[in-house]
Structures are given as C-alpha cells and as structure tokens.
A and B are shown apart, each in its own frame.
Chain A
Amino acid sequence: MPLNRKIAYIDLSTGKIEIKPIPLKIRKLFLGGRGLDAYLLYNHTEKGADPLGPKNVLLVSAGLLDGTLASATSRTHVMAKSPLTGLLGSANMGGFFGPELSWAGFHHLVITGKAEKPVYIWIHNGEIEIRDAAFLWGKTVTETQWAIRKELDDDDIKAAVIGQAGENLVRYANVMTGIKNSAGRTGMGCVMGSKNLKAIAARGTMDIKIAYPKDALEYDIRFMTQIKSAKVNQTQGTLGTPFIWGATNSWGGIRTRNFQYNQCEYADDIEPERFDEIAEETMGPYHMASCFGCQVHCRAKYRIPSGPYAGRYDEGPEYTSQGAFGGEPDIKDAVSVLTANHLVDQWGVDNLEIGSIISWAMELYELGILTDKETDGLDLTFGNADAMLEMIRRICFREGWLGNVLADGGIQASEQIGKNSFAYLIQVKGMNNLHSDERATPALALNVATSSRGSDHLRSRPAIDLYHLPEDVLRKIYSSPVPYDGPLSSEHTSYVGKAWEVFWQENCYMGVDCLGICKYHTTFLGATLPNFEDWSKVIYYNTGLELSAKEIWDIAERCNNLERLFNLREGLTRNDLKKGDMLNHRYFDEPCLRGAPEVVGVTIDRKKFKKMIDEFYEYHGWDENGVPTPETLKRLGLDKEPSGLI
C-alpha cells in the first residue's frame, strides 16, 4: 500500500538513522509529498536557522500516489529553508526517482546535520546506508548518476544528485535526476552541498499494493483519455513546453532585455518550431521523452547541432530555458540556448534563476552600474551569447568577482554591487521571476507576488485566465469543490475575480504536489483537466483512503497555511520588497512597450493591485497583513503548531 511507505530520519553529523511508519492520521491531515514536507519543515526547523548550517532540515519526498495508477505519478519534492531567500525553500521534479524511492519502501526523508566529508545516501528495499562519496565529488549531474550505478553494479538505480553548482554552494543550485529533471528553485542543491551530501540513490523491488486494481486500471484509462484529449497536451507532446512561447510572445507577455520590453522581436530562431526541427534533425522523427507513467511526453531529446559542445545529448529546452537564455538576455540563436541549457543541466543550477540574474547584470552593464572592472573584462552586452555562456560557467564555479557575487543570488549581489542595482532586479521574496511579463495580466501578477516560495509560476498561476474562457466555464471550474458566487471575468487584463482564481489554483497545485502528480495533468494549462473530484477517486482506488473532493481541498489549504506560517516566522511582511508579497516598482511604473493593442501602454495599477491582495488575504482568512487569523488556524486544525506529531 502507498500508505505503508515509511519516513526516515537521517542525521549526517552522527550517522544515526531512524525509520518510522507514517500514521494514517498524518496522511489524513497532510497526504504526503509537498504537504507533509511543509508540516515537517515547520516542526523540525528552528526559527532563524542558518540555511547552510547543520540545523537546516532537508526534506526529500515522493508524493502519496508516486508509482501508482493515477497518471504521471512521478514527482519528487524537496524542501528546506532556502539559502537564496531565507524563506520557504521548495522544489519539485519529475523523472523516475520518486517512484523508485517508493518501491524502495520510503516516502519521506528528513535529513539533518552535516557530513564530515562528501557522502551519498543509499536506499535499498527498506534499508538505508550512508556511503563515502569522495569518488563522486567534482562530477557533473549525469556523471554522478552513472558512477553510482557502476559502483553498486545496478543500472536501475535512480538518484537525486547535485552537480558542481551545488558543491560550490551556488545559492540557486538544483537537486536533479536523470538528464534534466530538476528540483530547480530556491537552491535545494545548495542545501545538499552544504551538508556534504552529493546524492541520494534509490532502488526498490518492494510491492506497492493497489487497493482496487481493476478500478484503478479502468479509472487510469479514463484519466489518460481526458489528459490526451486536451489540445494543450497534444501540442505539448509535440513541441514540449516551448510551445507556450509562440502565443505568449505574440501578444506581448515575454520580458526581454531584463525588463525593458515585453516581446522578443525578430526571434524566429528561438521559436518552438525551430527547437523541434533541431530535435528531429538530431534525434529522428520520434524525439519526445516521458517521465514515469506519463502520456503527455513533453520532453524533447536533442543533440547540440554545432559549436564547441556539438553532438552532446540533452533534453529540453523547456520554456524556462527559452526565456532565460533567449528572451531575457536578448539572444536570438537556438544553438546558444541549447548549449546554455546543457551547461546548467550538467552543472546543476536553476536555468530560470541564472538566466534572469545574468540578464539583470547585462542591464546593469548597459547602465554603467557594472563595468569591465567588475566583469573582469567580459563584455556583458545584451545579445552576447558567448558572454552569457562564460558567465554561467563563472557563476557555477564561483570564478571572478562577479561570478562569485552573482552566485549568492540577486538580493545579496545587489548589496555587493550597490548603487541603484536593486531597483532593476526583477524578483519577489529574493527569487527572480520567470521570463513571462505580467504587467498586462493582473491575475498572473498576483500569483507571482504571493507565491509561497518567492516569485513563481507553479504555485498559484491561473494560466487558463489567458484563454478568455466564457464566464460560465470559469464558474464551473472555480466554484468546485467549494462554492464561489463572486464575480469572475473572462478578460485577462481585468482585476475582477482574479484573487479567487489565484486562491483556487494555489489549493489545486498543492493538491497535485501532495499526490506526486504532474501539473500538466490538472487545471494548469488546460481547462478540461482533472482536479479535486478525480483525485478523490484515484486516491480511493489506489490506496483505499476515502477522502471527498472538499476534504482534499481542506488538506491543501491546511498545507498552504503551513507554508505561510513558516514564511511569517522567517520574517515575511506584506509590503517588504525583499521578503513580502510585493512586486518590483517597474510593474507599476514602466508601461508595456510592445505587443497586442490592449497590452501596449499597460502597467499594474497600484490601487487595484492592493485591493486584489486584500481580497486574496480575505479568501484565505488572513488579516490585512497576510497573517492567518486565530479562527482560520483553528478551522484548519493549525492552532497548536508546531505540534510535533511526527
């Protein structure tokens, strides 16, 4: 049963390992994955803990349904206090590690302390061992995984590892598995590096008993049909996530040259079709790959067609790389994007963060805030692909003054660089924004401003808000499983009803993150995809646990509030530009210069934005400062946190 997967407490300082069952009561409160991680983080991390110190708790988990028949149950979650933001650190990845961890008998790992020398954790059919990793130190993401397989003589081992960026404590280093699957935000790889933990390897052949096999199989077929029938997933299965670029760039939703423009012009070479062409030329007509159990197969396989890394194999690029290495630094050449994508995959660093930070540095260079003195002679002009690739290397290996400074993240770098540099940094809560430009989309701006792990598009983004869906369709989606009779608007430039959409999506995404299901299998990019009602069924058929759609919603809300409590404990205040639910002033002050007629000239309206946040807090049962009221905590059963149940 998924419900009998265990939790292990691993102290790297002492080498002590303790294995315990996860009580059913805990499952009913937090399900698993990200939700239970949030509970563990709040309960096991001391207030003000040093993110890079031995007291920071690193949580690695598989979702409740990982490895079962609920379609794309592949996800692994990683959580800790973030060395990038000083707030919630939280990242999620696909691939095959989560299911393997589950077949090895575990769902949750609570890792504390710091190993004296490099180690890796080996998890095999209910047993856990801490092993020497001297032979792995200095290796890339893929080299590390293949070396572990060789040492343990088993090609089926799956590992979550760090590359050189994690070893070098780049504050936005990834935890990664496979070729490119990345728990890639908030610097969870940096936390692993700080603990001298190079990898967690898992291999399991233990049964996960399915509660009702026949029903689980038949419901999965239904699930798959629903998922495949969504046009958005068919397109994604052909072009990968870059398909989003085409439409978004045409109406003016891609930030370019850091934040100077909202559309990347004359950029045919980094359009999705161009990447597809390269994948086809280098890998053949069938060049899409999947994570565990997934029918969407959104990951393209490619070889770099030319340049110094010609012939190297990789996967992607994702939409994030397209923006981070294409749009933002204004580099309109596919080979450079593919090369940058390969370097970050190998060295294990967040593509989104590093691309965005380099683009910020390019703007500072253009303004004269950074000069050749700080860049050690590197010409950081927008559009200079070689400079971007070199800067990626310097950051990952902390070389040169600027490489070392930028490796500490935007806010810390802005304090080192000084002058007016912070004003140009496009971040929220210390984490840089995706390359999407939210000035014309208030719902997305609210999502970015309030996301629990700092600026982010995967925590509460109502992406379907861009589709101009009829109001009755929106109402059908957004008034279940809890009633909503307030206003809704089909217009993406409107502020009406958006706070509710963001609130609803926040709970929806927490739901999939608890279960270990990919967001492409829920109401994210497609309006017709499964959510709460369907999860109630898959949970029952696979685990036997009876939970209504409303109960799953309540669990999600409970877990989201735990993340909020953690952030508040670490210093979040509403309007703090560095630690609050607030956007960079450019969102309010600089109008969009390009794109569709209704987009040109638009900014986020300060007053309406404030009102939207007020509404958003109200739906949560938070006060005007964004703090959960005592009644809300009581309603969610969080009035005695930290409660130390597990």
Chain B
Amino acid sequence: MAKVLMVNYEKCTGCRLCELVCSVVHEGVSNPFRSRIKIMKWESEGLYIPMSCQQCEDAPCMNVCPVKAISRDEKLNMVMVDYNVCIGCRMCVTACPFGAMSFDSVGKKVIKCDLCDGDPQCVRFCETKALEYVEADQVSVRKKRDAAHRLSVAEKEGAALQANVV
C-alpha cells in the first residue's frame, strides 16, 4: 500500500524549516513562497498548522484541468502534474479546496507537493515529527490509538473523581 504524508499539527513548533527545505530541494533557492508546503499560523494563539496537498482520490484539480495534465500516480498514491502538457491556466489553483495548488510567479508554473518521488524531504527535516510519511492504513489507526488513550485517561480521572465523592 502507498504511503501518505501525515500531518500531526499539534506537534508543529512553527519553525518553517519544511518550507525552506522544500524550496531548496525543488528550486535550489530559499523562498517559502515557492514551497509546496506552508505553515499556517495563528500566532496570538500559538497555533501552527502545516498545509500541503492532500493527494485527493477524486481530485478537483485533476477534474478541472482542461488539457488533462494532472493525473494520479497510483504507485505513490499521488496527484501529479505533467509539465509537458500543462498550459499554465491555473484552473487547478482555483479549484483546489485547500489552496495546495499554487502558482509560482517566478518559475511561471503551477506547483504542488510531489512527495519528492517517495522520499519527502520536509519529513526528513521535521525534528518533532509533525510531518510523517506513513502507510496509508496506519493514519487512522494511530489517531484511534491516541483518541482511545485520551478516553482511557479521562475514564481513570472520572473514576478517581467518583471515588473521592463517595
């Protein structure tokens, strides 16, 4: 089964090294504007959320592309752009519900996460593991385990509280 980029936003410290690394890997320059990943921040609440392509199964960018430049790579479970076909009309930018498809006005092309062909460098540089590259079937199992853990803690606390009341 193909892997997916898993975002654990609560672990993100907001350092934006992923943006820097992404732009250097893809364009040889430091420029977060040309990064495929971006940390959205609510600084006055200390909230940082990495946003990147969700690699949708039924991708709006793919559906809207007038020249069929966008397709799915089933091996990597990824939506990809064929730049030999792309006409740079930016319909995909308009259609993407996540803002994950961007237009790079320096390189004059649309850009999106390509999972670095199966070895995402943002994951490699993310110290806190806010970004992980995991088997697709692992994503929800991990979340279930975390949620169950919270539930078990809450139950224990509840039981302790009740014991105190009695």
A residues lining the B interface (CB < 8 Å) = 67-69, 96, 103, 142, 146, 178-179, 205-210, 213, 216-217, 220-221, 224, 228, 283-295, 297, 301, 313, 315
Stretch at the interface among B31-39, B67-75, B156-164: B31-39
B11 within 8 A of partner (CB): yes
Within the assembled complex, what's the spacing in Å between the Cα atoms of A48 and B15?
Answer: 42
| B128 on the A face (CB < 8 A) | yes
- For this complex, 27 residue pairs linking A to B, each with C-beta atoms less than 8 Å apart, are A67-B30, A69-B20, A69-B21, A96-B16, A103-B32, A142-B43, A142-B44, A205-B33, A205-B34, A205-B105, A206-B31, A207-B106, A208-B30, A213-B25, A213-B28, A221-B125, A224-B125, A283-B46, A287-B46, A289-B13, A289-B46, A290-B14, A292-B16, A294-B17, A295-B17, A295-B127, A297-B15
Q: Which chain A residues lie closer than 8 Å to B121 at the CB level?
A: 217
Q: In this assembly, does B124 line the interface, its C-beta being within 8 Å of a C-beta of chain A?
A: yes
Write out the residue numbers on chain A whose beta carbons fall within 8 Å of the beta carbon of B27.
207
Contact mask for chain B residues 114-126; partner A; CB cutoff 8 A; 1 contact, 0 none: 0000000100110
Q: Which residues of B contact A216 (CB under 8 A)?
A: 24
Q: Give the CA-CA distance A368 to B31 in the complex, in Å.
A: 59
Q: Which residues of B contact A (CB under 8 A)?
A: 10-11, 13-17, 20-21, 24-25, 27-34, 43-46, 48, 105-106, 121, 124-125, 127-128
Establish whether residues B10 and A293, one from each chain, have CB atoms under 8 Å apart when the complex forms: no
Docked complex Cα distance between A146 and B43 (Å): 10
- CB-based contact B28/A221 at 8 Å: no
Query: Which A-chain residue is minimally distant from B33 (CB atoms)?
Result: A205
A289 to B127, CA, bound (A): 12
Which residues on the B side are within 8 Å of A209 (C-beta)? 28-29
Give the number of A-B contacts (CB < 8 Å). 93
- Establish whether residues B20 and A207, one from each chain, have CB atoms under 8 Å apart when the complex forms: no
- B25 engages A217 (CB within 8 Å): yes
Partner of A210 from B30, B32, B106, B127 at Cβ < 8 Å: B30
Extra A-B contacts (13), CB below 8 Å, given A205-B31, A313-B44? A69-B21, A103-B30, A103-B33, A178-B43, A207-B27, A208-B30, A217-B25, A228-B127, A289-B13, A289-B46, A292-B16, A292-B17, A315-B46
A103 neighbours in B (Cβ, 8 Å): 30-33
Tell me the complex Cα distance, A287–B124, Å: 22
Complex CA gap A289/B35 in Å reads 21
Residues of A within 8 A of B45 (CB): 313
A177 to chain B, nearest CB (A): 10
CA distance A295 to B44 in the complex (A): 21
A288 to B128, CA, bound (A): 10
Residue of A nearest to B48 (CB): A289
Shortest Cβ distance from residue B165 to the other chain A in the assembled complex, whole angstroms: 23
- Residue numbers in B under 8 Å from A228 (CB-CB): 127
B11: chain A residues at CB < 8 Å are 286
In whole Å, how far is A145's beta carbon from the nearest beta carbon of chain B?
Answer: 8
Ranked nearest first, the 3 interchain pairs of A and B with the lowest CB-CB distance are: A290-B15, A205-B33, A301-B46
Q: Say whether B43 contacts A208, CB under 8 Å.
A: no
Known A291-B15, A292-B16, A293-B17: A207·B31 in contact at CB below 8 Å: yes
Inter-chain contact B24/A313, CB cutoff 8 Å:
no
Give, as a whole number of angstroms, the nearest-CB distance from B100 to chain A: 17
Residues of A within 8 A of B28 (CB): 209-210, 213
Question: Please, how many angstroms separate the alpha-carbon atoms of A142 and B13 in the complex?
Answer: 19
Bound form: Cα–Cα A396–B25 in Å = 47
- In the complex, chain A residues whose CB is within 8 Å of the CB of B48: 289
User: Which residue in B32, B34, B124, B128 is a CB contact (below 8 Å) of A297?
Assistant: B128
B16 with A293: CB separation less than 8 A: yes
CB atoms of B20 and A313 under 8 A apart:
no
Q: B132 → chain A, closest Cβ, in Å?
A: 14
**Distance of A292 Cα from B19 Cα, bound (Å):** 10
Residues of B within 8 A of A205 (CB): 31, 33-34, 105-106
Please indicate the chain B residues that have their CB under 8 angstroms from the CB of A146 in the complex.
44
A287→B15 CA distance, assembly (Å): 13
Residues of A within 8 A of B10 (CB): 284-286
Select from chain B the residue with minimum beta-carbon distance to A288.
B13
Q: Which residues of B contact A289 (CB under 8 A)?
A: 13-14, 46, 48
- When chains A and B are docked, how far (Å) is the Cα of A68 from the Cα of B17? 10
Residue from A207, A217, A301, A313 within 8 A of B34 (CB atoms): A207
Q: In whole angstroms, what is the CA distance A269 to B21 when docked?
A: 41
A210 adjacent to B24 (CB under 8 Å): yes
Closest to B127 in A: A295
Contact B31 A293 (CB under 8 A): no
Instruction: Give the residues in chain A near B20, CB-CB below 8 Å.
Output: 67-69, 293
Q: What's the Cα separation between A208 and B29 when bound, in Å?
A: 5
Residue of A nearest to B21 (CB): A217
Distance (whole angstroms) from the CB of B85 to the closest CB of chain A: 26
Inside 8 A of A294's CB, which chain B residues have their CB? 13, 15, 17
Give the CA-CA distance A287 to B12 in the complex, in Å: 9
